[in-house]
Chain A
Amino acid sequence: MAYESYVLVCGGTACCSSGGSAVVEAFKKELEAAGLKDKVQVVVTGCLGFCEQGPIVKILPQGTFYVQVKAEDVKEIVAEHLVKGRVVQRLCYDPAQAKKLVAEANIPFYQKQYRIVLRNCGIIDPEKIEDYIARDGYKAIEKVLFEMTPEQVVEEILKSGLRGRGGAGFPTGMKWKFAQQQPKGQKYMVCNADEGDPGAYMDRSTLEGDPHSILEAMTIAGYAIGASKGFIYIRAEYPLAIERLQIAIKQAHELGLLGDDILGSGFSFDIELRFGAGAFVCGEETALLQSIEGNRGMPRPRPPFPAVKGLWERPTVINNVETLANIPVIINKGADWFNKIGTATTKGTKVFALTGKVNNSGLIEVPMGTTLREIIFDIGGGIRGGHQFKAAQTGGPSGGIIPPQFLDTPIDYESLAKIGSIMGSGGLIVMDETDCVVDVARFYLDFTVDESCGKCAPCRIGGRKLLNYLNKITDGRGTEQDIKDMQAICDAMNKASLCGLGQTASNPVRSTLRYFMDEYMEHIKDKKCRAGKCSKLILYKIDPAKCKGCTLCARKCPANAITGTVKQPHVIDPAKCIKCGQCELNCKFGAISHG
């Protein structure tokens, strides 16, 4: 090491927006002032994953891990830690105010994680190709080009058992094999970086933190299937990821790792970026291809599969970002190393964006087969604010809701499907007892109705009908017949929709009906929402024993629903009440409650 110490500052989106950039500037300034400019290097890295506690600063070689660092704290870190070698205790992660956890390895958030996809995130400077190369980067492409035939590459990926991380879990090697077996000629390799699931950001972090790994993987795939051209279809809403990819492509060109005659092997491959314009359905592969071709992103029936007829009718392989990030590691360490990780049917790891009502939200990577309990309670640190775990949601709008009885299910594609959810792209949203499952189902349907492309009737009409029923139920106008109708619509959409979006759009409804029928019935029969989320079902009440008759609530009520005389208990007329909550918010005696 040329430097004595390294200061790693997380440059992920979450840390940047909580003041990370100012921290970097402060470090540069303070190190200069302390005369340490040549001894300590400041590195802006990709996402360290512990987004909840950002901005994150890690100091090497000690591995000291500082959280929620502000620009004002930097002077102290430089003076104490870097000059005197003393850890600044007050900035260390300390969830229970009990024991100070100094190094990253001691933080429970990291202990159960296993990083393959995120191997470089938070360690290298994503804007420096040298950093990637120093961590075995571009070693796999060298091995592939000079020691392996395309057939051997496909065979290796098949043997590794890697399955598509976009959600459906199709074996990646099979996809490659189909495309490889097509007659020679123009073929294409596409990276699907159109991450549109609400509640998921693993692809964003991978691209921001380790862009070269995707370029290398695409080049390997290109070699395996015989493609000379690749496209990365990325959301225009991810400016930082786009910028880093552009830098990475330029650097790879300069070193002869991309472009004509890569490393003098005779194989040529180039990558172009295409920006998605905000359509969830474009995550579906045939819709994505339409979009790259400049059309409305509407899916078409399969077969023919893109591996046979894809972009401009040519054989095309489409892989998700996370899938690709595994490829160089599999080539370097071998399929037999990779297929020992995970469960019988699902190999490797999975990255989850752990969010919602959990203490440590952030980006995590765990071996397949880890249980939800380990993820939520060990890594996630349990439910926020002492609340109760109610359900977890995986797979976004295409997934389902998982109730507490399945907390100990080892996660893989098959086990999640069995309990009515899907792996999906990796959003994992934790809910507590203040969340209403009917409202959550309504939320997802609202999303899919908005994003349905409208091409096929089951999705276009079925989704709208389901949403209408859910609105009716959350408004307190539902009937038991509605439940039966909804079940029939769910089945029809699942069987008859053209693409994955429509086929899975009913999953949030199906799974909530399956596990939380009692809550639907409460909404319908008792006109009650136990979580207090469905505003039309909330009833505000004044406790006459606590009410002092101060008249404040009556004056604050915008609907004149509260009546009473001074110094006498007041009453709320439920017929007039618009459930705005102003009375409860303003009552100084805690006399008003809702339920």
Chain B
Amino acid sequence: MCECCEKSDLSKLTPVFEAFAGDDHALISILQKAQEIYGYLPVDVLYAIAEKTGNSPAKVLGVATFYTQFRLKPVGKNLILLCKGTACHVNGADSIEKALVEELGVGDGETTDDGLFSIKTVACLGCCSLSPVMMINEDTYGSLTPAKAKDIVRKIREASK
């Protein structure tokens, strides 16, 4: 979708602006709330935030692209965060990534055609004793093997049918 035809329901932002009214330094917090609402940061939302907070659109986009948490594109229903931290790396995170790519047909930063899964590799999820690890939405899955990772994804796919 291009910038001119993207139409988000901007009224959802009103309570966010109210909550941070008078706080001139809350840009990151506002972006975080906006991403919670829309699942990502649509361009028209970024413009609306720029206008409301008195920042230039360039600054808002600059902040949104600096931090890895922010997404400018929608993600799938299930967001897979695959840990590629040091402990996971030495315990075979690459083979887990390969298995997920095989199973889902998409790679890092991409979303499956059915919109069910997105894969994102991250630096460290902070549960190194369970390495290799991935998080799907709020759940952490540890001590993965390629077969186990595929199985977890398959089960989620079955459950959402």
Which of A's residues lie within 8 Å of B, judged by CB?
Answer: 13-14, 16-18, 51-52, 54, 195-201, 204, 236-239, 274-280, 291-297, 312, 353, 355-357, 361-363, 393, 396, 427, 429, 431, 435, 440, 443-444, 447, 450-451, 453
Contact = CB atoms under 8 A, between A and B. Distances in A.
Contacts of A196: 123-124
Contacts of B84: 198
Interface string B69-83: 110000000000000
Q: Is the contact region of chain A dominated by helix, strand, or loop, or is it mixed? A: mixed
B56 interface: no
Interface string B114-134: 000000001111111111000
B103 to A, nearest CB: 17
B87 A355 contact: yes
A356 B138 CA distance: 24
Q: Pick from A199, A274, A297, A451 the residue with the most CB of B within 10 Å.
A: A199
Contacts of A297: 66-67
Interface in B103-161: 122-131, 138-142
B86 A443 contact: yes
Contacts, number: 130
A81 B63 CA distance: 56
Given A14-B130, A17-B141, A277-B69, A294 B32 contact: no
Contact of B129 (A14, A275, A295): A14
A453 B25 CA distance: 20
B90 interface: yes
Contact of A427 (B59, B67, B86, B122): B86
Given A13-B140, A279-B68, A429 B87 contact: yes
A443 B87 CA distance: 11
B68 A356 contact: no
Contacts of A201: 124, 126-128
The 10 closest A-B pairs by CB, nearest first: A51-B129, A277-B67, A198-B85, A17-B140, A294-B27, A201-B126, A199-B86, A278-B68, A355-B87, A355-B128
Nearest to B60: A294
Given A17-B127, A198-B123, A294-B29, 14 more contacts: A13-B140, A195-B126, A198-B86, A198-B124, A201-B126, A277-B32, A280-B123, A291-B28, A293-B25, A296-B66, A362-B129, A396-B86, A429-B86, A435-B90
Nearest to B30: A294
A371 B87 CA distance: 21
Given A278-B68, A296-B62, A357 B90 contact: yes
B89 interface: yes
B26 interface: yes
Interface in B1-56: 24-29, 31-32
Contact of A431 (B90, B122, B139, B142): B90
A340 B85 CA distance: 36
A239 B138 contact: yes
A237 B125 contact: yes
A277 B91 contact: no
A450 B26 CA distance: 26
A16 B140 contact: yes
A214 B115 CA distance: 41
Nearest to B126: A201
Contacts of B24: 294
Given A279-B67, A355-B87, A429-B86, A292 B25 contact: yes
Contacts of B85: 198-199
Nearest to A297: B66
Contacts of A294: 24-29, 63
Nearest to A435: B90
Most buried by B among A363, A429, A444: A429
A436 to B, nearest CB: 10
B141 A393 contact: no
Contacts of B131: 355
B69 A356 contact: no
Contacts of B31: 277
B156 to A, nearest CB: 15
B13 to A, nearest CB: 17
A361 B29 contact: no
